[in-house]
Chains A and B, each alone.
Chain A
Amino acid sequence: AQKITQTQPGMFVQEKEAVTLDCTYDTSDPSYGLFWYKQPSSGEMIFLIYQGSYDQQNATEGRYSLNFQKARKSANLVISASQLGDSAMYFCAMRLYVNTDKLIFGTGTRLQVFP
């Protein structure tokens, strides 16, 4: 069965420092996509970054980068130069490309950025 595991319930980081949020996944399908979403206290899920299973290079989007290690089945999110506004819940999710858009989410990591 497909599964996403986020082992860090909470993380603290000082402003302007980098932080890595861990995500491991489990699937036997060769074709899948991995996503990271940010959820502020308002509730809306904000798309951050995407990595396809066949992508050769790690995805980057501004201050966000995805450290994709396929053999280890990990897709860690790296946030560089943290800002106070980065404080939120972060969810890792996976989608299989089998005629569905269904996302399987991890339990999330609460990130708190302090001055």
Chain B
Amino acid sequence: KAGVTQTPRYLIKTRGQQVTLSCSPISGHRSVSWYQQTPGQGLQFLFEYFSETQRNKGNFPGRFSGRQFSNSRSEMNVSTLELGDSALYLCASSLASGATQYFGPGTRLLVL
């Protein structure tokens, strides 16, 4: 069974631009969560989705948004990029709420 896939793997943007990251969960998994990893702040929870509904959101500004589609694929969007948004963005999926989360390889975003 294929693992969690994330596209693109690497991305370079400039300040003020917006970006959309995609995550395809493991087949059959309905829960998707997103995390931001930076050297300074470590791993921080962004949001989670289950059956197309956002269940929980981390402490991030409104520039960060996401959604989940009926096939469980998820996207996250960051508008008006700032230098501090440079990070590794990790997506994780789980079979159901409460099950173990499995992570994708991440998208490395660099904002110049």
Given contacts A35-B100, A44-B104, contact A100 B56 (CB under 8 A): yes
In contact, A44 and B103 (Cβ under 8 angstroms): yes
A18 CB to closest chain B CB (Å) equals: 25
Q: Which of A42, A101, A105 contacts B94 (CB 8 A)?
A: A101
The reply to whether B56 and A43 form a contact with Cβ atoms under 8 Å apart is no
Query: Which of B31, B56, B58, B105 meets A44, CB within 8 Å?
Result: B105
Name the interface residues of B7-43: CB closer than 8 Å to any CB of A.
31, 33, 35, 42-43
> Are A102 and B33 touching (Cβ within 8 A)?
yes
Instruction: Assign chain A's interface to a size class.
Output: 20 to 34
Interface pair B43/A43, CB less than 8 Å apart: no
Q: Closest chain B residue to A50 by CB distance? A: B100
Q: How many residues of B contact A (CB 8 A)?
A: 25
> Which of A42, A103, A104 gathers the greatest number of chain B CB atoms within 10 Å?
A103
Q: Mark A33-55, 1 if CB is under 8 A from B, else 0.
A: 00101000011111100100000
Q: Which residues of A contact B90 (CB under 8 A)?
A: 43, 45
Closest-by-CB residue of B relative to A91 is B43
Taking CB atoms, residues of chain A closer than 8 Å to B104 are 44
Residues 80-97 of A, flagged 1 when their CB comes within 8 A of B and 0 if not, give 000000000001010001
The answer to whether B105 and A101 touch across the interface, beta carbons within 8 angstroms, is no
Rounded to whole angstroms, the CA-CA distance of A107 and B98 in the bound complex is 23
* SS class, residues of chain B in contact with chain A: strand
- Select which of A37, A43, A102, A103 is within 8 A of B105 by beta carbon: A43
- Which chain B positions have C-beta within 8 A of A45? 90, 92, 103
Complex formed: what's the CA distance from A99 to B51 in Å? Answer: 13
Taking Cβ atoms with an 8 Å cutoff, the residues of B that contact A are 31, 33, 35, 42-43, 45, 48, 50, 55-56, 58, 88, 90, 92, 94, 97-98, 100-106, 108
22 contacts between A and B (CB under 8 A): A37-B103, A42-B105, A43-B88, A43-B90, A43-B105, A43-B106, A45-B90, A45-B92, A45-B103, A47-B102, A97-B98, A99-B97, A100-B48, A101-B33, A102-B33, A102-B45, A102-B48, A103-B33, A105-B35, A105-B42, A105-B43, A107-B42
